[in-house]
Structures are given as structure tokens and as C-alpha cells.
Amino acid sequence: MRKSLGLAAAAVVFSFATAAFADGDAAKGQKVFMKCKTCHSLEAGKNMVGPSLHGLFGRKAGTAAGYKYSDALKNANIQWDEDHLENWLKNPKTAFPGNKMIFVGLKKEDDIENLIAYLKTATK
Ligand code: HEC
């Protein structure tokens, strides 16, 4: 039954694309970020296993200062926005093949939506 709820939520996300993200719950997103915290800081210039996510929105992929990226991300040639993040967080492996972020991806649409709402404020 949880599954059908998830599908309903996914349908809503698809029909309202950006509007749905605006409704993401940042407080819930902060909890989802626990999954990212082992590898990412939100502090400018503090790179860990992964690059700092400070200033993420509008930043070109593969350009955090002082971080050594894979060629896959260096050559991705995109700017991080909601759509690219959604795609990346769902399945990093297929989003930019050959990248080195070892993360299975988030399966629930609302986790992604909430996380993006959180990141929008937390990465500023
Ligand atoms: C096991 C460590 C690990 C975890 C967990 C992880 N990441 Fe990453 N992440 C990385 C690495 C390593 C890279 C750099 C990939 C590359 O260069 O190919 C990266 C890259 C990224 C980038 C691209 C940044 C840029 O500057 O272009 C974003 C965005 C990102 N991660 C977000 C997340 C989020 C959000 C989560 C949690 C849902 C997460 N990551 C979980 C290791 C991790």
C-alpha cells in the first residue's frame, strides 16, 4: 500500500514538475541529507570524499574549487538545477556514466523533492 501512495506522489510530481519542488518539505529533506553527509559538506571550500555542495544551484557541474572530479562530471557541461539534480539523485550511475559518486540513488520521489527543497536553502 505504501507503494501505491508513492506512485500517486510520483504522478503529481510529473504533472507539476517545478511547482511540486517548490512544495518540498525542507525539514524532511534535512533528514534525507543524512545519507549525503558522510561524503558532502555544505561549507564553502570544505571538500570531503565528495565536493562541497555550497553554492550548488546554478554552479556548473564539476567545478567546486580544489576538488578532483572524474572526467564524467568535469565534462558533463550542465548547470545544477532541480531537473538535473533529480535525475542525478535518482541514479547517479546512469546520469553521468563513469562518475565516481558511489551512491545507489533515492527511490522515492518525495525524498528527492524534500531533499531539493532543503538543499536550496542549505547550499546558499
Ligand atoms: C559515498 C560518498 C557519497 C555519497 C553518500 C553521496 N555522494 Fe555526492 N558525490 C560523491 C563524489 C565522490 C562526487 C564526485 C563525483 C565525480 O567526480 O565523479 C559527488 C558528486 C556530487 C554532486 C556533483 C557536485 C558538483 O560539484 O558537480 C552532487 C550534486 C552530489 N554529489 C550530491 C549528493 C547528494 C545530494 C547526496 C545524498 C543523496 C550524495 N551526493 C551522496 C560522493 C558521495
Domain count, the chain: 1
C-alpha of residue 82 to centroid of ligand 1, in Å: 15
Range of the domain at 70: 2-122
What was the pLDDT predicted at 10?
A: 54
Atom of ligand 1 nearest to the CA of 52: 26
0.85 exceeded by pTM = yes
Residuewise pLDDT in 10s, the chain (124 residues): 555 555 555 555 444 444 445 579 999 999 999 999 999 999 999 999 999 999 999 999 999 999 999 999 999 999 999 999 999 999 999 999 999 999 999 999 999 999 999 999 999 9
The CATH number of the domain holding residue 103 is 1.10.760.10
What is the C-alpha to C-alpha distance for residues 117 and 20, in angstroms, rounded to an integer? 10
The Å distance, Cα 48 to ligand 1 centre, comes to 10
12-16-22-23 Cα dihedral, nearest 10 degrees? -30
